[in-house]
Structures are given as C-alpha cells and as structure tokens.
C-alpha cells in the first residue's frame, strides 16, 4: 500500500508540474513570462472598472481595498511578495474605492455612507498621501452636500491636477470634478446624462496626462457613449455613441504619443473589444473576446492591450496585438474561486499587475513580465542631418537597438516616403546600396523589429553632389 501511495503522489506531482509547464509555455506564446503569485491580502475588491491597484514611477505597488467597515491601503516594494498594510480611516461603510499615483503622491477616492435626519445616502470622499503611504490626509467630501446617493468614484492624476468622476443614483448622471491644489478645493463641475437622466452606473474613466476619456452606458438602451477632454477637463466634447448595445465598459490608454485607446464591454452575455488610434475620433472593428463570462477589463501597453475577464469562477487573459491586428488565444490565469479583480499595466517596467478576490476575504496578487514589446526607434548616425556628400552609394549607419532582430531602412527624395528609392530590411545597423543614387537631396529613416515593428526614427536629410564645383 505504501508503494502504491507513493506512486500516486509521484503521478500527482508530475501532473502538477506538467500543468504549470503548459501554462508557462502558453503565456510565453502570448509574450508573457515570470508568472508569479505574491502574498495574500485580507480584504475584498469591487467592480473591475475601478482601478484598485497601481505602480508608481519607482515600481512600488499600491492597492486600496475594503476589510470589514474600514478602508485599507497596502504597499509592496518587492513586486508583491510582501505587503505593508494600513487602515486609512474607520469610516461608516466605505465602498467602491479607486487609486491613482503621480510621483510619490498617492490619491484615493471612495464612497461612504452618511446619515442625515434619518436619511441614509453616500458621498464621495478623497484622501491623499504625500510621503509614500506613511500618513494620510483627513477625508474630504468632493460632491455637494445635497443628500443624493453618489457611487463608483474613479480617480486619475497628472502633475498637480487630480480628476474624479462618479455616478449619481438619484439622477442617473455621471459627474466630474477636478482639483488644481492637491485636493484642497474642487471645481470645474461637469455632468453627463442630464437631458434624459439615463446614465448607468457602469462607466470607465482613464487619462493620458491631462487628456481625459470617459465611456458610460445609458440605462434604458445600454448604448455606450464616449466623451473626452484634451485640456484637463476645462472643456469636453459632446457625447458620441460608439456602441449600439453594451455595458460594464473598461477603458485604458495605450502608449504615450500614439493616441491609442482600448475598450472592453459586455453585451448579451458576451464580451467584446474595440480600439482607437486617434484619441477616440474613430473606432476599429468590434472583436469578440468571449461568448461567455463577465466584467471584461483592459490594461494598455505599447502596441498591446491585455484583456481580462471572469467566467465560472476563473479569470482569463487575451492579448491584443496591434502589429498583427489580432487577439491571442484565451489563457486561464486564476482559478481560486475568483470574483472581482483589478489590473494595471506599467509600461516603464513592462509589468502587468493583477489583484483578484478569491472569497473568504482573500485578495491575491499576480505579476506578469511582458517581454515582446516592439523596439524603440533607432538613433541615426550617418550621413548626418543636412550633410552634403559626393558619394553616390553612401553607407547608412545607425546605433543598434537592444533585442532588435532586424531593421528597415527607407530612403526617398520626398519626405513623405511615398515611393522610396531604397526600402530594405537588414539584420545589421548599417546598409550600403548596391546601385548608385542620383545627385539630389534625399530623406532617410530606420525602424527596428523586436517581436513587432517599432516606431520610425527621426527623418534626416542629406544631399549628393558628385559633380565637383568648377575650377576658378
């Protein structure tokens, strides 16, 4: 019997290793490695559209959550393996918290129950830390003192400006305010859905610097409307319907400078994905994520979107590859009886952080390293910008890019590169044309390939003048 038991243990152990190996190889196929799970935090999470986790510029992880009737903050300086936890305030009944960081400043918004004259409602509160989470300011109410029920605050930050959007249950509207003095005062009031009082509580708020984006669902027909501000909330576009039927939206910005937006949403029990490359002026074709499951959520990276959703008490992941215009296969990444969750992508560290609630007041953190981001643009070397040469077959040189497997060089007599005289792919950081170029002015640029083409380099010009000047 002992030998049989030992054999069963060995088979079970081998099967467990095989499952982990399959998961690791599957994640590697979609560009993810260093799949690891950190320590457990005691608490609960809320709707995935609320960002309850973030990384600061140094790589520290910050989480906000609820435990009992208390709002808690947790911080990890070792990629989630250990956490320091702090009760921010023992308020009445804190709900729906969200978090944002800028520099070493940490900002939290949440809703909390208030009772006035026997009437119970929820207000929106703000608190901050300017010393990395050691101490916190006294909570400050953001909304007017009007006894309405406010819910689902979502917070973003840029420089000295803080932005909060939230939902009003009584009037079915989305509200927005901003602070330019660190949260002491709040102004620039704006609301959406007032004409029909038909906004739904499911909305998503994201920012790229002081460029602000909101997608919200209408309550009666579940249309998704999009609004944006390109000046820190001072003015907003008119709401535009971008989806004829959808709810539970999740919005994320892509890499800085591209104007990329990623959106996931539900409709009819299925989950979908859309993207925009022009700050939401136009949107691409809707892609099916899954024909089952709920609460899809997206985090944006460099030419990639990382899409999570939950189904049958599990969390799944797909990756959108903008270079290939395709979604990866689904990968199961958590199966501990999962419920609500939150994720964030940190471009500078190439890391995805995921926290999820696994029941029994247990929050887990998982980290994924992303190693297939396309290369940065190469730096050109020679011919130098504005140079004149007599060589009709000049050697083009540029500095190599770490991890790049090949380069593409284009040379044209017009800066638009509509019909390049040279359009070659090479494996070395230099190229000498086999045919002579005619005299004249040319423009040239290079880009690098690392699991996808990166951005083009700066465009440099040079002039070929092979005819020597007349002798005087």
Tens of pLDDT, residue by residue over 274-291, are 999 999 999 999 999 999
Q: What's the pLDDT band for 453 if we cut at 50, 70, 90?
A: confident
CB atoms within 10 A of CB 395: 11
- For the chain, percent of residues with pLDDT exceeding 90: 48
**Mean pLDDT rounded to a whole number for the chain:** 84
Question: What pLDDT, on the 0 to 100 scale, is given for residue 20?
Answer: 41
* Range from 24-28, 49-53, 57-61, 176-180 carrying the lowest mean pLDDT: 24-28
Gap between the Cα atoms of 249 and 266, Å rounded: 7
* Range from 40-44, 307-311, 398-402, 434-438 carrying the lowest mean pLDDT: 40-44
Q: Using the predicted structure, report yes or no on whether residue 16 has a pLDDT greater than 50.
A: no
More confident residue, 186 or 9: 186
Compute the radius of gyration of the chain from its Cα atoms: 26
More confident residue, 271 or 192: 271
| 35-370 and 380-464: identical CATH topology | no
Task: Please say whether the dihedral angle defined by the alpha carbons of residues 228, 230, 235 and 237, taken in this order, is positive or negative.
Answer: negative
- The answer to whether residues 139 and 91 touch, using CB atoms and an 8 Å cutoff, is yes
Question: What pLDDT, on the 0 to 100 scale, is given for residue 7?
Answer: 46
From 145, 162, 42, select the one nearest 100 (Cα to Cα).
Answer: 162
* Range from 4-18, 49-63, 205-219 carrying the lowest mean pLDDT: 4-18
Gap between the Cα atoms of 228 and 282, Å rounded: 13
CB atoms within 10 A of CB 34: 14
Question: What pLDDT, on the 0 to 100 scale, is given for residue 38?
Answer: 63
Fold (topology level) of 35-370: Neuraminidase (2.120.10)
- Counting beta carbons within 10 angstroms of the beta carbon of residue 129, is it exposed (0 to 12), middle (13 to 18) or buried (19 or more)? buried
SS3 402: coil
Max Cα–Cα distance, the chain, nearest Å? 107
Q: Using the predicted structure, report yes or no on whether residue 457 has a pLDDT greater than 90.
A: yes
From 310, 333, 307, select the one nearest 321 (Cα to Cα).
Answer: 307
- For the chain, percent of residues with pLDDT exceeding 70: 84
CATH number, span 380-464: 2.60.40.10
- Per-domain residue ranges of the chain: 1-30, 35-370, 380-464
Contacts for 262 with CB less than 8 Å, ≥ 6 apart: 251, 252, 253, 254, 273, 274, 275, 298, 300, 305, 320
Mean pLDDT of 119-125: 86
For 398: left if phi > 0, alpha if psi spans -120 to 50, otherwise beta; the answer is beta
Task: Please say whether the dihedral angle defined by the alpha carbons of residues 108, 109, 111 and 115, taken in this order, is positive or negative.
Answer: positive
Question: What pLDDT, on the 0 to 100 scale, is given for residue 22?
Answer: 40
Q: What is the pTM of this model?
A: 0.74
From 21, 37, 71, 27, select the one nearest 353 (Cα to Cα).
Answer: 37
Mean pLDDT of 381-396: 96
Q: Using the predicted structure, report yes or no on whether residue 247 has a pLDDT greater than 80.
A: yes
Instruction: Give the pLDDT confidence of 45-83 residue by residue, as tens digits.
Output: 877 677 899 988 888 999 999 988 889 999 999 888 889
Instruction: Give the pLDDT confidence of 259-274 residue by residue, as tens digits.
Output: 899 999 999 889 999 9
Specify the DSSP element, H or E, that contains 230.
Answer: none
CB atoms within 10 A of CB 425: 10
């Amino acid at each position: 019997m002992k030998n049989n038991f030992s054999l069963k243990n060995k088979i079970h152990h081998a099967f467990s290793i095989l499952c982990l190996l399959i998961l690791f190889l599957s994640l590697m196929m979609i560009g993810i490695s260093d799949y690891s799970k950190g320590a457990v935090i005691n608490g609960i999470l809320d709707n995935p559209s609320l960002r309850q986790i973030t990384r600061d510029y140094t790589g520290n992880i910050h989480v906000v959550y609820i435990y009992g009737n208390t709002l808690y903050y947790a911080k990890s300086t070792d990629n989630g393996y250990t956490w320091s936890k702090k009760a921010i305030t023992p308020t009445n009944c804190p709900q729906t918290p969200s978090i944002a960081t800028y520099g070493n400043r940490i900002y939290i918004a949440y809703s909390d129950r208030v009772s006035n004259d026997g009437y119970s409602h929820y207000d929106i509160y703000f608190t901050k830390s300017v010393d990395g989470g050691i101490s916190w300011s006294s909570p400050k109410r953001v909304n007017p003192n009007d006894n309405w029920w406010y819910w689902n605050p979502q917070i973003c930050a840029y420089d000295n400006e803080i932005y909060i959007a939230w939902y009003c249950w009584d009037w079915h509207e989305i509200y927005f305010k901003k602070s330019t003095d660190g949260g002491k005062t709040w102004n620039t009031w704006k609301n959406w859905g007032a004409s029909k009082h038909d906004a739904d509580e499911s909305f998503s708020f994201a920012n790229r610097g002081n460029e602000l984006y909101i997608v919200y669902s209408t309550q009666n027909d579940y249309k998704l409307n999009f609004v944006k501000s390109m000046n820190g909330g001072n003015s907003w576009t008119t709401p535009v319907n971008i989806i004829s039927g959808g709810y539970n939206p999740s919005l994320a910005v892509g890499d800085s400078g591209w104007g990329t937006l990623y959106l996931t949403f539900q409709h009819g029990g299925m989950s979908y994905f859309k993207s925009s490359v022009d700050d939401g002026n136009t949107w691409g074709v809707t892609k099916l994520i899954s024909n089952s499951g709920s609460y899809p959520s997206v985090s944006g990276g460099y030419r990639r979107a990382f899409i999570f959703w939950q189904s049958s008490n599990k969390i799944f992941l797909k990756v959108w590859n903008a270079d290939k215009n395709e979604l990866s296969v689904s990968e199961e990444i958590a199966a501990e009886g999962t419920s609500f969750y939150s994720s964030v992508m940190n471009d500078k560290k190439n890391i995805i952080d995921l926290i999820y609630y696994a029941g029994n007041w247990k929050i887990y953190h998982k980290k994924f390293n992303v190693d297939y981001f396309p290369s940065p643009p190469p730096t050109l070397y020679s011919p130098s910008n504005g140079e004149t040469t007599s060589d009709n077959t000049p050697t083009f040189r540029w500095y190599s890019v770490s991890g790049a497997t090949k380069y593409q060089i284009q040379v044209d007599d017009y800066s638009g590169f509509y019909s390049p005289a040279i359009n070659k792919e090479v494996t070395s950081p230099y190229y000498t044309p086999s045919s002579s170029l005619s005299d004249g002015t040319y423009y040239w640029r290079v880009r690098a390939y690392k699991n996808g083409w990166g951005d083009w380099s700066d465009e440099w010009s040079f002039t070929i003048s092979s005819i020597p000047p007349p002798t005087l």
